[in-house]
Amino acid sequence: MTLIQLGLPDHTTLTCAAVLFDMDGVLVDSAAVIEQNLRGWAGEHGLDADHVIAVCPGRTLAELVAEVAPFLDARAEAQRLLEQDISNTDRLTACPGAEHLIRQLPESVWAVVTSGHYPVAVTRLTHTRLPIPDVLITADDVSTGKPAPEGYLTAASRLGVEPRDCVVIEDAPAGLHAAKAAGMRAIAIAGREGGPFAPYDHRIESLSSIKVLHIDTTPTVPER
């Protein structure tokens, strides 16, 4: 098992066997694209766009539709939103520090866990020139999305590591709850992490704040 030492701005050193990233808001700045898509869709159906945007993080598209518009066909509307998410890439950018951090990590020790669907994840990572990980867990891989821990537990299993040896980097309450429910340590990206009772162990401004101090491929028992 490979061990990674991460240095945080508060001088904390975290030792872990895997780093699990949320995608939107952590690796990819997709806020403008998501807002444009959801405002357009909400307007078509006479919905409160601000409310739709507020409840979106952590939910699959079908879950979002069912939550804000239970009178609509969730599957059909989710498909429409999916097609918009795939085609609308003009304002996508990599988040600060994302490429530098993940390119320092061996492919075997990091994963992406997103509430988005696989085609959207691949499109956004490719468009922002970020590598597609060997382990990419999307809405298509789980039966229950965030804040349930299934996605993060699935990622840990596929990487062959214990949940307690994983560090999750998230930006939304649903994802932070999912990480802690999975028994993992959670780093919150400053922004939306301050939702009601959202749990996290550390808080940073961006991925640029994290330094890879050491990678040990012949480790002993990890320090906690």
Catalytic center residues: 22, 24
SS (H, E, C) the chain: CCEEEEECCCCCEEEECEEEECCECCCEECHHHHHHHHHHHHHHCCCCHHHHHHHCCCCCHHHHHHHHCCCCCHHHHHHHHHHHHHHCCCCCEECCCHHHHHCCCCHHHEEEECCCCHHHHHHHHHHCCCCCCCEEECHHHCCCCCCCCHHHHHHHHHHCCCHHHEEEEECCHHHHHHHHHCCCEEEEECCHHHCCCCCCCEEECCHHHCEEEEEECCCCCCCC
* Number of other residues whose CB lies within 10 A of the CB of residue 61: 24
